[in-house]
Structure 1
C-alpha cells in the first residue's frame, strides 16, 4: 500500500477512537480483548486451556479449519493449554510467528481499586490484570488473524500465531514456548517472531516520545547461597555463625558492581536517546559512550533510574533469605536466593565464579537454581527495520524507533537461542507512569490498545507478503 493510503487509513482508524463510535474492527477487537481479560488465567485458580479454547472458537467461527488450529496441552498440566493457529502462505519464505502469552500473574481483589478480572474502561484507560501484559498483544493477534482470513490474505510465508501459557511462572515445568519448541517445533518454527517487550513512551502530556523495538534480553539465572554449621545452644554461642557468614557475604555482594558493557543495541539506544533527552540527561548519555565511560555520568543515570544500570551491567541481587530453626538454637543452616540478570554473551559459569570471588568465603556454597537460557541478540536487519520504521512513521510521524534490550526476560529467549529471531514490538504506548504490569491496577490507554492492534496488523501483513 502506498504511503498516502497508509496515512489515510491511520487517520480514519485513530479518529474513531476519539469519538464515541468504534469502527467494526475496533468493536471486534474489544469483544475479543474483554473475553480474554475476563478469563482468569492465573496459576492458582485460572486456566490457559479455557482461554485458548475460547480463542480457538473465535478463529473457527471466522473460517479457520480444524487442520489449522492446534490446542496443545502438556502432560501433567491440564490447565496449561497453548493455541497455535496458521494461515498458509505459498512457501517461498519461512513463517512469521506472532507470539503472546495468555497467562497472568496473581491479583487479589482486596488490593485493587477495581475487580482485576473485569475489564473496566475509565477515563480513557482499560483496567484489568493482563490488560497490558500480555493480553493486549494476544487479543490483537487473534483479531488480526481474523482480519487476514476475512481479507483472504495470500502471504509468501505462513503466518503462525501462538498463544502460550506459563510465561509468568518462574520456575515452571509448563512454559508453553519451551514445550512447543521441544515437542512440536514444526508448529512454531519461523524466521521472524513478533513478541512482547517493545512498545512506546508518551510524555506527561500524552505525546509520543519514542517507539521501542526490543532486540535481545538478559539471561535469568538464580543462585542459592548456603552456609551450614553444627549449631548448638544459643546460651553458649560460637563466633562461627552460619547467619553471620551469609550476611557478611551478602553485604560484600551488595557493594559490588559487575563491569560496564555496551552491545551494538544498547550503544544505539543511548546514541539515539541522547538526541531526544535534554540537558544533563542527554549529556550523561553521551558521556557514557566514551571509552572509558564517565563514571559520574553513570552514577547520575543510575540515580535517575536503576534501569540504566541494568542496561549496561549484569546485576545480581539478594531476593530471599531463610536461616535458623529455633529462637534458642544456633543456626545450623542459612540460605539466600540471589537472582542474576546476565548480559547476553556473558557465560553463566563466569558469573557464578564472580559471585564466589565477591562473597569471599569458602563456607558459602553457591549452586544454580535451574538453568538459565542463554540466547544471542537478534540482528536488526535493514529489511525488518525499514518495515518497522516506515509503518511507525506513518502512524506517529517523526517519532523515532529506538532499539532496546530488555533487562527482564520473555519467552523469546527460547527462540533466539535456536536462531528463530524474536523481536519485541507492539505499537502500544504507555505514559511515564508505566502500565502497572505485575502490580496493582494494571492498565493500558484505550487509544494505545487500538493503535497497537493496527500497528501489529500492518507490520504482520507487510512482513508476510513482501
Structure 2
C-alpha cells in the first residue's frame, strides 16, 4: 500500500553521527560518504524494525534537495509479521520521448552479531583502505550511489527526456514481499522500457586492485528453499527403535551431498566462461575455456564443480543450510527437519528439482515443503544502448580497455521479479571488488575506499546518456 508522504516526512528522523570527511573530498564525495555512513549505521535487518528509519532518512534527503511531494512515494507492507517500507522517487521528464527507466536497490541487510565481528558491524569504519560495516557492499553502496546521483542531478537542474524512477525495496534479503509488490506496481503503473539494478554486476579487480573486466548480470538462477522432514512415533531413549528420524534425515542429507545435478549451460553462461577463462592461466581457466567450447568435457566439468566460484554456473545446486530435530535429550526424536537451499538453472524449474531430490533420497517417508514464494525468470538480452552508456562510464574512469562481460548470477536479487514481468533487467553496479573480498552476508563485510569514490560518477554518466535527447525505447 502507498503511505502518505506527509506522514513519512513528519516522522522523527534518527539522529545519526556526523560523517567524518577527509579534507580533500569534494562536496559531492563528502555528501555521498555522509549518506553511506548514515544508512550503514541503521540496523535494517529482519526483526529490527529499522527499514522505516532508512526510508525516513532518505525522504528527508530527497525533500531537502527539492524533490516535490508528488515525486516521492513511500510504500508499506507486512512482511513476516513486520512492517516493511519501500521507497520510490521520480526524476520526471517535462515531455517524455521514451518509456521510463527503473533503477533498483534494497535498503535491508542480513543481520550481524557484534560479538562475531572484529569491528562493530553497524558502525562505518574506515581502515586499511576499506570501509567496514554490514551492508557496505550489499547493498547500501548501491543505495547510496543511486541516492547521491539523484541529489546531484536535481542540484544541477537536470531534466531528463524520460522519467527516471528509483525503486528501493525493504526486504530483499528475506521474503521479498516489498520487492514483489513494488514490481507488480511498476508493471501496472510505470511500464518501464527496462530496469537497471545496482545490486549486481560491477568491476572485477585482480589482487592488485586493477580492473579485469566489468560484469553485467543478465540472468539469475531461481531461488528455492525446501524443508525436508522425517517423522517418527518416537519413544523413550532407553528403548531405541530400529528406525530413527534423525538417522533417516541424515541419510537423506548425505544422499543430497553426494548428488550432482545434470550439467546445464546457455549461450550467456558459455560466453561468460569463455571470456573469463581467457584471463586465467591456471587449470580453472583452462576448464572455463574448454567448457565454453565443449560443455560435455568431463575433465573441465569436474574442475568447475570443485571450485565454489564456478560450480553454480554449470547447473543447479542444492545445499543443506539449517537443521532442527528432537524435543528432549532423553526422548527419541519424533521429527527431524533440514532446510535445503537450491539455486536452480533457468529453465529447469522447481518441480523437476524436487523430483530429482526425491529420486536420489529414495525414501517415501521424507516429506518436502517449499518455503516462501518461488520466482522463475528467463534470461535478459543485452541492450546496446545500456552497453554503450556503460562503456562511456568506464572510459571516464580510464577503463576503456576493460571488457564488458554478461553473466548469470547464482544468487538472487530484486531483478528476478522484474524479469518475471518481461522487463529486460541488467545488473550494472558502480564499484568493484577483488576476488572473495566483499564478505557480503558474512563476517567483516567491506568495500574498497577507492572503489566507493571511483564509482560515484557511474550512474551520472549512464543515466544522462540514456535519458538525453536521443533516448529511445
User: TM-score if structure 1 supplies the norm length?
Assistant: 0.90
Secondary structure in structure 2 of the residue aligned to 1:162: strand
Are 2:59 and 2:72, in contact at CA under 8 Å, matched by a contact in 1?
A: yes
Task: Please state if 1:379 is matched with 2:385.
Answer: no
C-alpha distance in structure 1 between counterparts of 2:195 and 2:186, whole Å: 16
Are 1:84 and 1:187, in contact at CA under 8 Å, matched by a contact in 2?
A: no
C-alpha distance in structure 2 between counterparts of 1:128 and 1:257, whole Å: 36
Secondary structure in structure 2 of the residue aligned to 1:307: coil
| Residue in 2 that maps onto 1:308 | 310
Q: How far 1:81 moved relative to its partner?
A: 1.7
C-alpha distance in structure 1 between counterparts of 2:328 and 2:43, whole Å: 40
C-alpha distance in structure 2 between counterparts of 1:30 and 1:135, whole Å: 11
| Residue in 1 that maps onto 2:88 | 84
Secondary structure in structure 1 of the residue aligned to 2:467: helix
Which residue of 226, 229, 235 maps to 1:226?
Answer: 229
| Residue in 1 that maps onto 2:202 | 199
Q: How far 1:157 moved relative to its partner?
A: 1.6
Secondary structure in structure 2 of the residue aligned to 1:289: helix
| Residue in 1 that maps onto 2:338 | 336
Name the stretch that deviates more: 64-73 or 272-281. 272-281
Which aligned pairs between 1:277-356 and structure 2 lie closer than 5 A? 277-303=280-306, 305-356=307-358
Are 2:204 and 2:433, in contact at CA under 8 Å, matched by a contact in 1?
A: yes
Which aligned pairs between 1:103-142 and structure 2 lie closer than 5 A? 103-142=108-147
Name the stretch that deviates more: 177-186 or 82-91. 177-186
Q: How far 1:263 moved relative to its partner?
A: 1.4
Q: Deviations over 1:263-314 (max 9, x none)?
A: 12111101111221114333221221244532222222333x3131111110
C-alpha distance in structure 1 between counterparts of 2:38 and 2:246, whole Å: 50
| Residue in 2 that maps onto 1:175 | 177
Secondary structure in structure 1 of the residue aligned to 2:142: helix
C-alpha distance in structure 1 between counterparts of 2:154 and 2:384, whole Å: 29
Task: Please state if 1:420 is matched with 2:404.
Answer: no
Q: Residues 247, 166 of structure 1: CA spacing in aligned structure 2 closer, same or farther, 3 A cutoff?
A: same
Are 1:392 and 1:401, in contact at CA under 8 Å, matched by a contact in 2?
A: no
| Residue in 2 that maps onto 1:39 | 42
Task: Please state if 1:454 is matched with 2:464.
Answer: no
Are 2:187 and 2:421, in contact at CA under 8 Å, matched by a contact in 1?
A: no
Q: Deviations over 1:175-195 (max 9, x none)?
A: 322122345655654222221
Q: Deviations over 1:390-417 (max 9, x none)?
A: 4324421311111111111111111110
| Residue in 1 that maps onto 2:412 | 409
Q: How far 1:221 moved relative to its partner?
A: 0.8
Which residue of 146, 158, 161 maps to 2:166?
Answer: 161
C-alpha distance in structure 2 between counterparts of 1:209 and 1:184, whole Å: 35
Question: RMSD value over aligned CA atoms?
Answer: 2.1
Stretches of structure 2 lacking an aligned partner (at least 5 in a row): 1-21
Q: Deviations over 1:140-195 (max 9, x none)?
A: 111111122122223222100122201112xx3x6322122345655654222221
Q: Residues 263, 393 of structure 1: CA spacing in aligned structure 2 closer, same or farther, 3 A cutoff?
A: farther
Are 1:307 and 1:407, in contact at CA under 8 Å, matched by a contact in 2?
A: no
Q: How far 1:215 moved relative to its partner?
A: 0.8
Q: Residues 44, 325 of structure 1: CA spacing in aligned structure 2 closer, same or farther, 3 A cutoff?
A: closer
Task: Please state if 1:359 is matched with 2:346.
Answer: no
Q: Residues 112, 232 of structure 1: CA spacing in aligned structure 2 closer, same or farther, 3 A cutoff?
A: closer
Are 2:44 and 2:54, in contact at CA under 8 Å, matched by a contact in 1?
A: yes
C-alpha distance in structure 1 between counterparts of 2:48 and 2:237, whole Å: 43
Q: Residues 43, 327 of structure 1: CA spacing in aligned structure 2 closer, same or farther, 3 A cutoff?
A: closer
Are 1:53 and 1:71, in contact at CA under 8 Å, matched by a contact in 2?
A: no
| Residue in 1 that maps onto 2:5 | none
Q: Which has the higher helix share?
A: 1
Task: Please state if 1:275 is matched with 2:278.
Answer: yes
Which residue of 131, 149, 154 maps to 1:149?
Answer: 154
Q: Residues 240, 122 of structure 1: CA spacing in aligned structure 2 closer, same or farther, 3 A cutoff?
A: closer
Secondary structure in structure 2 of the residue aligned to 1:339: strand
